[in-house]
Amino acid sequence: MTDDVAVEETQASTDEAPEGDARYLSRQISELDFNNRLLDLAEEQSVPLLERVKFLALFSERIDEFFQVQVAGLKRQVSADLPSRSLDGRTPTQQLGAIRAKLAPMVARQAGMFTGEIVPELAKSGISLLDWTSLDAADRRHLAELFDQEILPILTPLAVDPRHPFPYISDRSLNVGTVVRDPDGNDARFARVKVPPILPRLIRLLDGERFVFLEDVMAANLDGLFPGMVVGEPCFFRVTRDADLTVDEDEAENILAAVREDLRQRRFLPVVRLEIESKATPDVVNLLLAELGIGADDAYQIDGPVGLDGIWALHGLDRPELLDEPWVPVTRPPLGSDGDEPVDLFSILSRRDVFVHHPYDSFATSVEALLNEAAGDPGVLAIKQTLYRTSGDSSIIAALTRAAERGKQVVVLVELTARFDEQANIEWARVLEEAGAHVVYGLVGLKTHSKTTLVVRREGRSIRRYCHVGTGNYNPKTAKMYEDLGILSARPELGNDLTDFFNSLTGLSHPPAYHDLILSPRGIKERVIEEIRAETLTGPDGRIVIKCNGLDDPEVIDALYEAAAEQVQVDLIVRGICCLRPGVPGLSETVRVRSIVGRFLEHSRIFRFGSAGRPVRYFIGSADLRRRNLDRRVEAMIPVLDEEARRQLDEVLEINLADDVQSWALGADGEWSRVPTIEGVATQERLQDLVKDRQAIHEAPPSARPTTWGWFSSRRSRSR
């Protein structure tokens, strides 16, 4: 597989980004800015305490991945001496310097927030995180016994001396380091003990919600690992390694075997970061830097616990008063049962399209229901699906397996190279193949990221096709945490398109001309730019609203700049990376960019072109406006034709643009700032309220139902 980062930056330098081009913002810095917004939420006093803990843990996980992929890619460019530049004109070395300057204060902010704010607030709520020095004698005796009986037997102390080379340090492993010496001699040696990942990071004391970090217990009992030796002051450290797979799909005879081999090799990839306690001595820091083969700029000294991804356990405590109020997704009214009669999903879809919005609408009673019903329906002949990521106990896999075992034609495209889910996807592929499903692994050189399902059913003497096209993965767990959209449909045109699409994925045919389906590569970018240019021609009457997770494609950005030059009004709702610079006089004065961050991860992609009085075009799909999505992935986008679905997309977009609680705005200087709260519109809370109202209206007698309802009508009534 070609290196994503190297390709993106090289293309930027040769085609789109002259040195010092101020039209574009740095992709890496923009990604760090999104992570900084997570820290803003962790700092927000109105956010429930354990949700603030969650945002700190999420920040740690995302920064880990940033180093594993983005920083690692830049370091490979530096090592290869590639003459590449980023969109904003920086060399890889300059980008690494900018990342360090941006990230170091963020890391310090996270550590200070945890130790100075979160830990004291937890203590006020009866959840104490204690260090060894604050424990009484009884606690220490208990933990010493626990160490001897359950921890010590699985530890392996590794010393560094002429007979013992520096040990291999695995990716993201937490370690206790110390210097030991023989009391009869002067030789001092460094020793390392890995904190076992199989054990809980937080040890609960016997009397309730008091906790001690596992590494603190190990550090206090190191004498038991080095009997007869003088043990120095312990310190905690952690390394991050390059984690990008480099499967050469053009040369690999068997892509499955190639991915398996690369997974084995991943753990030996270079170190790209060292996290270490700030109290570590310079000698220990320098030793680690030298042995790991990294420089001082790759080390981050931490004033607090190292690796705060380990505090996820706190978020799982049974303390509902410290968490967001639970949200139970509702069944969208067209899919709900009518009294004791079971839902006939096929009958519903044969009459109309159904729009679903997760996690507000239930994934279980829509997408999962379609697959479950298809698996058991004797009229269903075939099920075809693209599978990028799914959950560990996937009901989706269970339904596909049942269908295959009952003799239905089941075809699943499993994307083996979905980053960090490679091993899980290999296992799902094996399960499906053993059940009799046809499993394919996508197209050479392209990741298949589309979210598409096709169900083929015999109805009397004819064949009918039922479809789902969405913006999110077929993952029941993330469907409760990620905001996503989907369309369930039995429109013949879409069914024909998906039939041809799956045949092109599994066979050797060239993609045909599609009626509704728009694909990448060579499709979505071109259509989006075509729609932008159509609005550009209308000048000040033009209107563009786009909601996505990332925008870094220079051709799309330039098209939006051209629209702005003609005074087209452009609103971009971009959760994460945005390389477009809004509000610049003479370049992007009519462009506004905002990001919404809340309890649910905003993940849907919506494209709206046109304004009142002119034809308005709506699209949803799996692709962000990023080069990786538009040029190197198989993505699917469709027009939204159902009037009810279009109305609800307008509702979602208007609420997003009215948000003044969960929103940040991007300035012309590239800096993000909170949108001032005036009306108090919080997108996710407002959508929850609307779903509850919709459910109540559906359950009310017909005579009691309003003739108009929704965000638009309720907002108009408030304004009156």
Instruction: Sort 121 into a burial class: Cβ within 10 Å, 0-12 / 13-18 / 19+.
Output: middle
DSSP string, 453-470: EEEEEEETTEEEEEEEEE
Tell me if 413 sits within 8 A of 497, measured CB to CB.
Answer: no
Other Cβ atoms closer than 10 A to 463:
14
Helices 49-65 and 92-113: angle between axes, nearest 10 degrees: 160
Residue 383 β-bridge partners: 410, 455
Judge whether 449 counts as a catalytic residue: yes
E strands of 124-229, at which residues?
128-130, 157-159, 174-181, 188-194, 202-204, 210-213
Distance CA 201, CA 199 (A): 6
Give, in order, the Cα–Cα distances in Å from 572 to each of 247, 564, 606, 626: 35, 12, 10, 14
Return the SS3 of 696.
Answer: helix
DSSP state of 148: I
Buried-exposed string 647-660: b where 16+ CB fall within 10 A, e elsewhere: ebbbbbbbbbbbbb
Residue 279 belongs to what H/E stretch? Answer: none
Which segments of 4-141 are extended strands (E)? 128-130
Q: For residue 138, what are the CA distances in angstroms to 134, 141, 216, 219, 335?
A: 12, 5, 16, 18, 58
Active-site residue (options: 449, 468, 510, 515): 449
Distance CA 264, CA 274 (A): 22
Q: Which amino acid, residue 110?
A: Q
Show the tokens assigned to 104. 């170091």
Angle (CA) 32 580 105, round 5°: 20
| SS3 assignment, position 634 | strand
CA-wise closest residue to 684 among 665, 659, 664:
659
Unique residue bearing structure tokens 């009085």: 613
Catalytic residues: 449
